[in-house]
Amino acid sequence: MSKNAETEFAGLTFEQAFERLEAAIQALDEGDLSLDDALARFEEGTRLIRYCAHLLETAELQVQQLLSDSSGAVTLAPFESEQ
Amino acid sequence: MQLLTVSQLTRYLKASLESDPVLQGVWVQGEVTNYSASSQGHQYFSLKDESAQMRCVFFRGAGSLQNRRAALFSPLGAASVKLRNGMAVLARGRLSIYETRGDYQLYVEEVEEAGVGMLHLRFEQLKQQLQDEGLFDEERKRPLPRWPQVVGIVTSPQAAALRDMLRVLRARCPLVRVILAPTLVQGERAPEQIAAALDLLNAQGEAEVILVSRGGGSLEELWAFNEEVVARAIARSRVPVISGVGHETDTTIADFVADYRASTPTAAAAAAVQDMAEWVRALVAHRTRLTELVEDHIDAWRDELARCRRDLLRASPRGQLASERQRLDEASSRLNERMKRVLEHRQERLKSAAQHLHALSPLQTIARGYAVIRHEGTGQLVTSVTQVEASDALDIQVRDGHIRGVVWHVLPDEGEL
């Protein structure tokens, strides 16, 4: 059963994925896991690493601009910056 | 009433001037007149306004330490002003009396042109005020978030500073989202706008760290960042603020209030986010660790398995049978051994008994000359005179045969009967 890390963790931020990775490592480090659990944690960690790497590879800086109208309502609009 | 000499009075006046703390560090505003410079580099002039004037002397090297220190903390630097007649200046120094002429004069330690000097004064006054209020206290500084996902920027959308910051963010951490709160960064309306942009980012609520920034420029161009409204907006921001104004050498009030002072816009952007290269390194390290740990687990379970197998073999019925059989074997061989020894012992005893028996045999006695006498008819052994009568037939056995005979006479021993 091979899960696709990108879809499995879709919606997790890099931070959340990284923290889950650290949690998996810590669980393994504490050492009182069943073999099944240990292997499951290892595989989860491996998929999280793949997911984090994928995020880093595909990340593109998103720039928005804060606009407020006369009534004081605040909106976000894309900001076109020349690269 | 006391009579004083001129010298005594002058010295008294001088001492009282020099013991007055206000007069020992005073800023005086005025116009330069009667300017002259000596060949040693000392400068003499008067400061005047519409209705008064006073003598001033600016010795070469005077106040240079203070100037250097001021240069570190002021946006003005230590640029020395070239004085000339008619120039409007601010002079800082201490008052004393030149006894020879009886003139009171200002011993100047620092001179600035009036315009710049006023900015300097306002800077120093505001800095002092905010410092006294505790706005610069280290305890007020909030830690920067380790993983900001949304970075707020307060700057001009047209500025080169914004492009620099976006370039750094894109290179270091393109995972973040940037929210720009556009504002003027110089001119009269800039301070209010900068403060409003900060408030707006706080109100919008997504930004986890805010960069307040402007590229390099003159003192006047950077001045908005020395205004109180900006300082107060930074101080009340719930979101940590990083300042990055001007070049490395520029320091603004905003820098003092900000949670983190970066020397330039570029440095501010770099301080706001982690470098992606660090994450890549961290991921590689985590992968190594993960593999090591799972291998440790597998090894530990393998050891556990081996231990279990040993325990199991020890406890199994088959193992028990084998060991029973072994015990049986051992017992039976012990038994055999024992039997053998018992038999040997018996044989030994038998042999010695036989020897003993042999020694006791009557045949041995007969051989030494004794005879065995039996009744001829009954075969009964005759050991007493009472057993026979005259005419009984007897069998007398000797060493080498038998003698047959008849009893003649029976003679019991005296006293035997």
- Cα B112 to chain centroid, rounded: 51
User: Does A73 have pLDDT greater than 90?
Assistant: no
- Give the gap in angstroms from C-alpha B243 to the nearest C-alpha of chain A: 19
Least confident of A32-46, B166-180, B235-249: A32-46
Interval B299-329: pLDDT, tens? 888 888 888 888 887 777 776 777 778 888 8
Residue B146 in this model has a pLDDT that exceeds 60: yes
What's the rounded Cα separation, in Å, for the pair B397 and B26? 169
Contacts of B182 in chain A (CB under 8 A): 65-66
Question: What number is the average pLDDT over the span B349-367?
Answer: 71
| DSSP annotation of A10 | T
Model pLDDT, residue B244: 95
Give the pLDDT confidence score for residue A1 in this predicted structure: 38
Residue B79 has a pLDDT of 45
How confident is residue B249, by pLDDT bands cut at 50, 70 and 90? confident
Residue whose entry in the numeric block shows the structure tokens 């250097």: B68
pLDDT tens string A42-58: 889 989 988 988 888 88
Q: Summarize the confidence of residues B102-128 as an average pLDDT.
A: 86
Return the residue of B nearest to A28 by Cα.
B293
Q: Nearest chain B Cα to A72, which residue?
A: B200
Amino acid at B403: I
Flag whether pLDDT at B212 surpasses 90.
Answer: yes
pLDDT for B77? 43
Q: Which of B174, B291, B294 sits opposite A61 (nearest CB)?
A: B174
- In whole angstroms, give the CA distance from residue A38 to residue A32: 9
When pLDDT is cut at 50, 70 and 90, the band that residue B73 belongs to is very low
Contact of B155 with B185, CB cutoff 8 Å: yes
Does residue A83 register a pLDDT over 50?
A: no
Of B204-213, B227-236, B287-296, which gets the smallest average pLDDT?
A: B287-296
Mean pLDDT of B374-399: 87
Any chain B CB within 8 A of the CB of A71?
Answer: no
Out of A38, A66, A68, whose CB is closest to B297? Answer: A38
Contact at CB, B166 and A61, closer than 8 angstroms = yes
pLDDT at B407 over 70: yes
pLDDT at A64: 93
| Structure-token pair, residue B302 | 């393998």
Structure tokens at B268: 């501010």
Mean pLDDT confidence for B10-17: 92
Q: 3-state secondary structure string, chain B?
A: CCCCCHHHHHHHHHHHHHCCCHHHCEEEEEEEEEEEECCCCCEEEEEECCCCEEEEEECCCCCHHHHHHHHHHCCCCCCCCCCCCCCEEEEEEEEEEECCCCEEEEEEEEEEEHHHHHHHHHHHHHHHHHHHHCCCCHHHCCCCCCCCCEEEEEECCCCHHHHHHHHHHHHHCCCCEEEEEECCCCCCCHHHHHHHHHHHHHHHCCCCEEEEEECCCCHHHHHHHHCHHHHHHHHHCCCCEEEEECCCCCCCHHHHHCCEEECCHHHHHHHHCCCHHHHHHHHHHHHHHHHHHHHHHHHHHHHHHHHHHHHHHHHCHHHHHHHHHHHHHHHHHHHHHHHHHHHHHHHHHHHHHHHHHHHHCHHHHHHCCCCEEEECCCCCECCCHHHCCCCCEEEEEECCEEEEEECCCCCCCCCCC
- Output the average pLDDT for chain B: 87
Select the residue of A22, A55, A62 nearest B178 (Cβ to Cβ): A62
Residue B166 pLDDT level (bands cut at 50, 70, 90): very high
B156, B165, B180, B206, best to mutate vs chain A, most A CBs in 10 Å: B180
Q: How confident is the model at residue A3 (pLDDT cuts 50, 70, 90)?
A: low
CA distance B183 to B161: 13
- In the chain, the amino acid numbered B365 is T
Q: What is the pLDDT averaged over residues B191-204?
A: 95
Q: pLDDT band for B74, please (50, 70, 90 cuts).
A: very low
Q: Does A35 touch chain B (CB under 8 A)?
A: yes
Q: Does B365 touch chain A (CB under 8 A)?
A: no
pLDDT of residue B80: 58
Chain A residues close to B195, C-beta within 8 Å:
none
Q: Are B130 and B100 in contact (CB under 8 A)?
A: no
